[in-house]
Amino acid sequence: MSDAPHKTILVLHGPNLNTLGQREPAIYGHTTLDQINAQLRAEADGMGVELVILQSNYEGALIDQIQQSAAVACGIIINPGAFTHYSVALRDALAAAQLPAIEVHLSNVYKREPFRHHSVVAPVVTGQIAGLGPDGYLLALRYLARHAAAGN
**How buried is 94 (Cβ within 10 angstroms: 0-12 exposed, 13-18 middle, 19+ buried)?**
buried
- Is 105 a catalytic site residue? yes
**Catalytic pick among 105, 117, 118, 137:** 105
Contacts of 33 (CB under 8 A, 6+ apart): 13, 17, 18, 20, 21, 55
**Catalytic pick among 28, 30, 110, 147:** 28
- Is 85 a catalytic site residue? no
Could you tell me if 59 and 94 are in contact, meaning their C-beta atoms sit under 8 angstroms apart? no
Q: So which residues are the catalytic ones?
A: 28, 105
